[in-house]
């Protein structure tokens, strides 16, 4: 008999971000393994865009209990800590229904960077949200230790990510391409620390920014020397990865960073700061370099062998990610 997994999320299925990418790939693996996957998202309720940050959806979730009961799921997973996730948590905890959760985004750090909200206020709220979760899945061992240091229970699972190698591979590289460039792929928003990339002084290399977001037009005007491509996906995106000399990852508050392993799968080494995300993803001097000075990190990356970058990136697998997810479902 087919087992059903209910994934409750504040993301819309057509949004482009690491959380949506993760669950699309987990769903694909689950279907191959004989499971069915059902989602509850803001589209199952009335919702509106968060003022000033339209990627975040504010849903009115007063019929959450009815919708959960209608699915009749064997397993329930709350993916996000937004209004949909909060409403589901309230209902499930009240009725003693078991579930697990995921910690994808460093909300305390993000809210401090965006709105100046002290982490002393937000960490207790995040800890409370996950309090009744049977298992808390997070992206890396570093994030697991970070959560434990902030008072989480010892039920945290390191749940890594994967890459679609049918799309992201070195076959898209064209050695005859005109001009060498450094690449960044990201949502174009303040918290991504993109100005560190835009302001790099690295002669002989064009800076290429792939992505869309609320700061795109502002940054276009402020940084005319940067080539902004807009949003790209699939093979179009893979070509940008494969033909870049170095992928630059300037963000300092990610829990993982799927774009890094997509770049590596195409043979492109990654330059980043030594912080959460890169510390667990980059093999220093093998798939990239981490340095407090991004120019020095780029220097190191340019000396790396692209074939070795690809080989070292083989450990990232969506099949492995699915098995970790499946093994930690709560009945």
pLDDT at 98: 97
Contact present, 261 and 281 (Cβ < 8 Å): yes
Contact present, 144 and 299 (Cβ < 8 Å): no
Contact present, 250 and 192 (Cβ < 8 Å): yes
Say if strands 46-50 and 246-249 run parallel, antiparallel, or are unpaired. Answer: unpaired
Distance of CA 270 to the CA centre of its chain: 16
Q: Is the pTM of this model over 0.75?
A: yes
User: DSSP assignment, residue 171?
Assistant: G
State the architecture of 170-315 in CATH terms: 3-Layer(aba) Sandwich (3.40)
Alpha-carbon span 157 to 3, nearest angstrom: 22
pLDDT at 323: 97
Span 25-60, pLDDT tens digits: 999 999 999 999 999 999 998 888 777 666 777 888
pLDDT at 52: 67
pLDDT at 128: 96
Grouping H, G, I as helix, E, B as strand and the rest as coil, residue 156 is strand
Higher confidence at residue 52 or residue 150?
150
Whether residue 129 has pLDDT greater than 90? yes
pLDDT at 256: 92
Residue 46 has φ and ψ, to the nearest 5°, of -80, 135
Residues of the chain above pLDDT 70, percent: 99
Q: Do domains 3-162+318-327 and 170-315 have the same CATH topology?
A: yes
Q: What is the DSSP string of 208-231?
A: EEE---TTHHHHHHH-TTEEEEE-
State the architecture of 3-162+318-327 in CATH terms: 3-Layer(aba) Sandwich (3.40)
Dmax (CA) for the chain in angstroms is 62
Alpha-carbon span 55 to 231, nearest angstrom: 15
Higher confidence at residue 37 or residue 142?
37
Residues of the chain above pLDDT 90, percent: 82
H runs (alpha helix) in the chain: 18-32, 64-71, 83-94, 107-115, 119-129, 141-149, 195-198, 216-222, 234-243, 258-265, 278-281, 294-301, 306-312, 318-327
Alpha-carbon span 244 to 215, nearest angstrom: 23
Contact present, 101 and 121 (Cβ < 8 Å): no
Domain ranges of the chain: 3-162+318-327, 170-315
Which has the minimum average pLDDT: 46-50, 134-138, 177-181, 237-241? 46-50
Alpha-carbon span 219 to 11, nearest angstrom: 26
Whether residue 90 has pLDDT greater than 80? yes
pLDDT at 18: 86
Alpha-carbon span 210 to 208, nearest angstrom: 7
Which element (helix H / strand E) includes 102?
A: strand 100-103
């Amino acid at each position: 008999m087919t087992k059903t997994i209910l994934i409750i999320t504040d993301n819309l299925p057509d949004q482009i971000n690491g959380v949506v990418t993760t669950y699309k790939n987990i769903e694909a693996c689950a279907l191959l393994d004989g499971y069915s996957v059902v989602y509850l998202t803001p589209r199952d309720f009335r919702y509106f865009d968060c003022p000033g940050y339209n990627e975040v959806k504010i849903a009115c979730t007063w019929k959450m209990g009815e919708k959960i009961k209608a699915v009749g799921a064997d397993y329930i997973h709350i993916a996000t800590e937004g209004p949909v996730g909060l409403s589901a948590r309230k209902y499930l905890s009240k009725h003693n229904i078991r579930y697990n959760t995921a910690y994808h985004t460093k909300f305390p750090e993000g809210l401090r960077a965006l709105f100046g909200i002290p982490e002393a206020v937000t960490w207790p709220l995040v800890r409370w949200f996950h309090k009744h979760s049977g298992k808390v899945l997070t992206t890396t061992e570093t994030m697991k230790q970070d959560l434990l240091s902030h008072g989480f229970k010892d039920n945290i699972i390191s749940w890594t990510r994967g890459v679609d190698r049918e799309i992201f591979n070195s076959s898209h590289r064209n050695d005859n391409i005109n001009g060498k460039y450094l690449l960044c792929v990201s949502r174009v928003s303040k918290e991504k620390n993109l100005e560190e990339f835009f302001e790099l002084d690295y002669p002989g290399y064009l800076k290429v920014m792939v992505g869309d977001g609320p700061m795109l037009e502002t940054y276009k005007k402020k940084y005319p020397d940067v080539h902004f491509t807009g949003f790209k996906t699939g093979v179009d995106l893979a070509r940008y990865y494969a033909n870049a000399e170095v992928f630059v990852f300037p963000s300092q508050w990610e829990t993982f960073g799927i774009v890094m392993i997509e770049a590596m799968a195409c043979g492109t080494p990654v330059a980043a700061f030594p912080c959460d995300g890169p510390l667990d993803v980059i093999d220093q001097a093998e798939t990239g370099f981490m340095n407090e000075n991004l120019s020095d990190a780029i220097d190191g990356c340019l000396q790396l062998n692209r074939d070795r970058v690809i080989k070292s990136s083989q450990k990232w697998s969506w099949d492995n990610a699915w098995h970790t997810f499946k093994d930690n479902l709560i009945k």
